[in-house]
Amino acid sequence: MNKKDKNKFMSKEIVTKAITDAFVKLNPAYMIKSPVMFIVELGAAITLILTIFPNIFGDKGENLRLYNALVFIILLITVFFANFAESIAEGRGKAQADSLKKTRKDTNAKLLGSNNSIKIVSSNEVKKDDIVLVEAGDIIPNDGEVIEGIATVDESAITGESAPVVKEAGGDFSSITGGTKVVSDFLKIRITATPGESFLDKMISLVEGASRQKTPNEIALNTILVSLTIIFLVVIVSLLPMANYSGVIINAATLIALLVCLIPTTIGGLLSAIGIAGMDRVTRFNVIAMSGKAVEACGDVSTMILDKTGTITFGNRMAADFYPVDNISKNELTKFALISSIKDETPEGRSIVELANKLAISVNTKEYEGCDFIEFTAQTRKSGLDLKNGTHIRKGAADSIKDFVKELGGIIPEDLDKITEKISKLGGTPLVVSVDKNILGVIYLKDTVKPGLIERFDRLREMGIKTIMCTGDNPLTAATIAKEAGVDEFVAECKPEDKIAVIKKEQREGKLVAMTGDGTNDAPALAQADVGLAMNSGTVAAKEAANMVDLDSDPTKILEVVEIGKQLLITRGALTTFSIANDVAKYFAIIPAMFAAAIPQMNLLNIMRLQSSRSAIISALVFNAIIIPLLIPIAMKGVKYKPMKASMLLARNVLIFGFGGLIAPFIGIKIIDIAITPLLKILNLA
């Protein structure tokens, strides 16, 4: 499914399929999963019997069969609308699942034998731990890890992004997803999933809702709704002797209608749709949630663990300035820094060349074509150029260049340590430049903080979420970056086990923790966190440990995912408030109208001045039915979330949805009453 389709709220196909599914879900075996709506369907079944046998319970009154039939039709429509709301929510996921299923093809796979012999087999025959060869144009048969080669892979079938990604053996970009296509070069892959259990298979199952389980909060709310239903059932049963004592005749269909109007049918009909839509909003954001519980947990997150590199900063250190030591000019330092980087194809090397050119320093690159380039390694921590005349130009870590110069008999400038310390305090990385035994100065490499993060972290603080940055940098650099980005706390020189310790510490204080990661060393922390967001470009271990996978591999996406989780909880709370307020209003609409004839004093409570008891019942039933589809857009899109204190958020929702839910029935029922009264008179039901 492309991104344009993902952003569509509804389509003709989704609505058509939802209507069909809504009828299919009328099956009592399915409806019993939603107890509130099951009661409504049970009421519809009883009124259907009463339509056929109107006097089965000894009911009396004019046109009972027609009245019972009208109540039956409205109750059936109410159940249908509730099923339709759920089906619309499921429809978007099923549409995306259908799109994904088209990518799951039975293709040929090149199975490698022990002597690298190639055997062509069906992709369905490839088993876990098999080694396969994929070349340009081949579809990858199943999930796996790259063990040899480097190639670009088209993952648009899963991510929706057309730009291919680079996959290579080793590191955090070795994970490969079945169903994607190799664009260039070749890869040897060790298969890590059995047929039918690939990431694509799991993704299809999740987005179409087949494996959706109710979340703890949803189950708790459902229990409350069932309890309210039982309470109102007792109230309705006790109402019958009171009515008989007062001389008011209430037939069975009216009692059923009264029960349906008073139980929380609105939220009962929308509850499942809200949960499904919450997962769908995450999916449309190109994040696969392994369960609804994961999305819901996002809404309760109070601490967020963030990596520095790639999440808070861009990760590519860029040259920002040149700091010469005493007796060396800035131009001289810049020139030799440029020469040392002519053949350096790393992002840092290219940025040094670009900065030197901006400062109007340039050299004739042809003069250095035959020179030996010394590549940077983790062991030497320096790189540079050996000129034809025997000159050694180097740039690298301060201690590494110091040792290099000392070996040549050079002297370390007195102000060098002050310069490197100054750069570290600025949050940068010092890169010392030397020519033979002389140190010329320091290149200031800056890992730039991503724009807009300060505002986003402010939003998180307004939500009551604490941010903790974890980095392998020294404390000076970490403190500077943390201050610039606006995070609340930081952990410097952080190792994988330190992340787990931070998460456990926060959890012991009763907080829910979210974090992102992509490497195998992140897997334990992702598993420990309440919300673990793994990058799709990361390792299999990371994706298996997490409960969410970001298909776009954007570590900052955790910020938006948390907001979606908050929105899910707020939407559920807001519509629950609206539903309960609705029930209070409907009570004042129906009860006075029913008892007014026998107890004239009840007219004081008949605020809406409804025409008759039957008019009141039918108007309330109609309103009860049509309010469900009217609220579907809110359930699907979610209530707009604005970061604020919990008390203010509660007050805002009570004011808007509580007061709105109280007023809407008075207006709606009165309008319906005016509209249907002439029809009821024609049918002799008024």
Catalytic residues: 307
Is 497 one of the annotated binding-site residues? Answer: no
Q: Is 571 annotated as a binding residue?
A: no
Residue 344 annotated as binding site:
yes
Q: How many CB atoms lie within 10 A of CB 122?
A: 12
Strands 118-122 and 428-435: unpaired
Residue with tokens 């730039």: 448
446 is in an annotated binding site: no
Q: Is 377 annotated as a binding residue?
A: yes
The answer to whether the annotation marks 382 as part of a ligand binding site is yes
CB contact at 8 A, 381 and 396 = yes
Report the relative pairing of strands 150-154 and 428-435 from DSSP bridges: unpaired
* Cα–Cα distance for residue pair 400/77, rounded to 1 Å: 78
> What DSSP letter does each residue of 461-523 carry, written as one string?
HHTT-EEEEE-SS-HHHHHHHHHHHT-SEEESS--HHHHHHHHHHHHHTT--EEEEE-SGGGH
Q: Which residues pair with 548 in a beta bridge?
A: 289, 533
Whether 279 contacts 441, CB under 8 Å: no
Report whether 208 belongs to an annotated binding site.
Answer: no
**Angle 613-637/252-262 helices, nearest 10 degrees?**
30
Distance CA(193)–CA(312), nearest Å, equals 33
Residues 6 or more apart whose CB falls under 8 angstroms from that of 641 comprise 563, 566, 567, 570
Per-residue 3-state assignment (H helix, E strand, C coil) for 458-477: HHHHHCCCEEEEECCCCHHH
What are the backbone dihedrals phi and psi of residue 54, each rounded to the nearest 5 degrees, phi first?
-60, -25
Ligand-binding site membership of 380 (annotated): yes
Residue 518 known to bind ligand? yes
Q: Could you give the CA distance from residue 450 to residue 469 in angstroms, rounded to a whole number?
A: 14
Strands 144-148 and 175-176: antiparallel
* Bridge partners, residue 490, by sequence: 469
Q: Determine the Cα–Cα distance for residues 54 and 48; give it in Å rounded to an integer.
A: 9
d(CA 36, CA 453): 44
Cα dihedral 408, 411, 416, 417 in deg (nearest 10) = 90
Sequence-ordered strand ranges (E) for 149-257: 150-154, 165-168, 175-176, 181-182, 186-191
Token pair for residue 659? Answer: 């007061």
Residue 154 known to bind ligand: no
Residue 415 is labelled as binding a ligand: no
Determine contact, residues 39/46, Cβ cutoff 8 Å: no
Tokens 């480097």, residue located: 150
3-state secondary structure 115-178: CCCEEEEEHHHCCCCCEEEEECCCECCCCEEEEECEEEEECHHHHCCCCCEEEECCCCCCEECC
Burial class (CB in 10 A: 0-12, 13-18, 19+), 121: middle
* Exposed/middle/buried for residue 628 (C-beta within 10 Å: 0-12, 13-18, 19+): buried
DSSP 567: H
Binding-site annotation, residues for ATP: 344, 348, 376-383, 395
Binding-site annotation, residues for Mg(2+): 518, 522
Binding-site annotation, residues: 344, 348, 376-383, 395, 518, 522
